[in-house]
Amino acid sequence: MKLQLKNIIVALTIAIGLTACSNDDSSGEVTGNGTLELKFDNTYGDADLIFNAPYTNSNGEVVKINKAIYIISNVVLTKEDGTTFTVPKEDSYFFINEEDAISSYVTISIPDVPAANYTKVSFGVGVDEAQFLQGQEGQGNLLERAQAIGMTWSWAAGYKFVRMEGTYTSSIATDDTVFMVHTGKTGEIYNYAQIEVDLPDQALVRANITPQVHIMADLQQIIDGTTVINFDEGTSVMGGSKVQSIMANNVPGMFHVDHVHND
């Protein structure tokens, strides 16, 4: 009897162990959909971006930022096998507004992402030509959202892709002088920038795992990157070759992924 009872206990122990293993395995199954978060952390060079803090550029101008907004669009996630998941375009326009930052981050939450291991994220800065040409009817509530935070032009049709404002001083401008940098479509040039960033660790999207991809955005690059903007030469940068240079040369260098949390 004792031997029979012992055998029953052993059998139960094995069954419980197998059940536990089975549950562990099922919790990691790469099936179904989950959510992925992109957390944008704005910096100025190596420093956290703080409104009205002084930052010195390579040309000696000292800037203080008090407004920073840019449009992130057309998010595409690349899996480890090279295939991609494209967020539906109508659901893929986001405003990264520093005023909305919580604990330094502005978070984009992307639902209904197929479970997979993701290795890259690509996105646009601005509104692409195809979407712009659809007009207001093809853009959902994008126009209303943009108007509410000053991301449309008052003197022309279209969206502001990047809006950065503040004051600066220099050897010439010894008092705080207001500057504005607004980028967007200029003439027939859309100035839309396409970005692709590699993930240092895979983002493991599961039904029970929501990866957080921490993207650093260095706003110094907008005016002090490959192309250097000198405000002594003009404090309103809103069109022409300067905007084209910012979007083509500077904005693509703004972004990198610092780390990934798989929680």
Q: Tens digits of per-residue pLDDT, 57-91?
A: 999 999 999 999 999 999 999 999 999 999 998 88
Q: Provide the pLDDT confidence category of residue 188 given band limits of 50, 70 and 90.
A: confident
104 and 3, same structural domain? no
201 and 247, same structural domain? yes
194 and 104, same structural domain? yes
> What confidence score (pLDDT) does residue 132 get?
87
243 and 177, same structural domain? yes
Query: What is the count of structural domains for the chain?
Result: 2
Q: Provide the pLDDT confidence category of residue 5 given band limits of 50, 70 and 90.
A: very low
Instruction: Report the share of the chain in percent with pLDDT over 90.
Output: 77
Q: What is the mean pLDDT of residues 25-30?
A: 54
% helix / strand / coil in the chain, to the nearest 5?
A: 25, 45, 30
Which of 218, 173, 164, 163 lies closest to 61 in space, CA to CA? 173
90 and 18, same structural domain? no
Q: What is the mean pLDDT of residues 197-221?
A: 98
Enter the pTM of the model.
0.87
State yes or no: pLDDT of 6 exceeds 50: no
Kindly report each contact of residues 149-156 with a partner whose C-beta sits within 8 Å and lies 24 or more positions away, as own/partner: 149/69, 149/95, 149/97, 150/69, 151/69, 151/71, 151/95, 153/182, 153/184
Q: Provide the pLDDT confidence category of residue 217 given band limits of 50, 70 and 90.
A: very high
> What confidence score (pLDDT) does residue 226 get?
97
146 and 22, same structural domain? no
- List b or e across 197-223, with b for residues whose CB sees 16 or more CB atoms inside 10 angstroms: bebeeebbbbeebbbbbbbbbbbbbbb
The Cα 135–Cα 114 span in angstroms is 30
182 and 140, same structural domain? yes
State yes or no: pLDDT of 46 exceeds 50: yes
50 and 136, same structural domain? yes
Which domain, by its residues, includes 223? Answer: 31-262
Q: Report residue 172: phi and psi, to 5°.
A: -95, -50
State yes or no: pLDDT of 24 exceeds 60: no
253 and 203, same structural domain? yes
117 and 176, same structural domain? yes
Residues contacting 220, CB < 8 A, separation 6+: 43, 44, 45, 55, 57
251 and 178, same structural domain? yes
24 and 82, same structural domain? no
